[in-house]
Amino acid sequence: MENLIEKYNVSRETIELLKTYEASLREWQHKFNLVSNNSLEDAWNRHFLDSLQLLDLIPKDAELMLDFGSGAGFPAMVLAIALQNKTPYLKIKLIESIKKKTLYLNHVAEICHIQNVEIINDRIENLPPQKADVITSRAMCSLDELLKYAYRFTSRKTKCIFPKGKKYAEEISEAEKHWNFEYKIIPSMTSEEGAIVIITNLFAKGDK
């Protein structure tokens, strides 16, 4: 635990809440198919630490974060737990269209006493436009598709943080056909092949 606290700059209380979260994931997996059964065998690394590695990428002055296709809460619910005492002014909205998954997300928010989240059971395209400081999404769709969803919610200062698998370079090349953006690649701490793609200054081709 000491290594985790030092590596991810989180408190012991945060680690204990994440362990509560992990136990609930294993319990609810028997009811709902929240994550793949293969990933559940190594849930701490595959889901929780994979989410925690984004912690230092969240701007300290961010006030609104949107998470698309939140599923079982990775990375947004993990980040909410870690950030709620550090940045109490940050509101995190988890957007998930599948009802059973939002039931689970509400359960996690309750048992982990998370106050800084709003869980929205709807499709992204149904949401009214709002400008977010941060947008996250993990394993929902290709980067090109993600940028289509994200565009209505971005300003030039919005930071999009998207964990990606081994084909991230191909996804960037495809997205560049339709979008102008700046990007930065950070190697994943939990996957030798994966990376975190950070997108800023997003606008569609042809926009002025």
pLDDT, averaged across the chain: 92
More confident residue, 3 or 18: 18
Is 25's pLDDT higher than 80?
yes
Is 109's pLDDT higher than 80?
yes
More confident residue, 109 or 30: 109
Average pLDDT over residues 96-122: 96
More confident residue, 33 or 137: 137
To which CATH superfamily is domain 2-204 assigned?
Vaccinia Virus protein VP39 (3.40.50.150)
Q: 96's torsion region: left (phi>0), alpha (psi -120 to 50) or beta? A: beta
Return all residues near 86 (Cβ < 8 A) that are at least 6 apart.
Answer: none
The rounded percent of the chain whose pLDDT value lies above 90 is 76
Enumerate the domain spans of the chain.
Answer: 2-204
Is 2's pLDDT higher than 80?
no
- Residue 164 token pair: 């990606």
Is 56's pLDDT higher than 70?
yes
The rounded percent of the chain whose pLDDT value lies above 70 is 96
In the prediction, which pLDDT does 4 show? Answer: 60
74, burial (CB in 10 Å: exposed 0-12, middle 13-18, buried 19+): buried
Is 6's pLDDT higher than 70?
no
CA distance 52 to 65: 15
DSSP 3-state helix, strand, coil percentages of the chain (rounded to 5)? 40, 20, 40
Helix (H) or strand (E) holding 173: helix 168-175
Is 144's pLDDT higher than 80?
yes
- Residue 132 token pair: 């977010």
Binning pLDDT at 50, 70 and 90, where does residue 123 land? very high
Is 68's pLDDT higher than 80?
yes
Is 208's pLDDT higher than 60?
no
- Alpha carbons within 13 A on the beta-carbon side of 105: 30
More confident residue, 65 or 44: 65
Is 146's pLDDT higher than 90?
yes
Is 96's pLDDT higher than 80?
yes
Is 122's pLDDT higher than 90?
yes
Tell me which long-range contacts 16-24 makes (C-beta under 8 A, separation of at least 24).
17/81, 17/112, 17/113, 18/48, 18/78, 18/81, 20/111, 20/112, 21/48, 21/73, 21/77, 21/78, 21/81, 21/108, 21/111, 21/112, 22/48, 24/104, 24/107, 24/108, 24/111
In the prediction, which pLDDT does 97 show? Answer: 96
Query: Under a CB-based contact definition with an 8 Å cutoff, are residues 109 and 119 in contact?
Result: yes
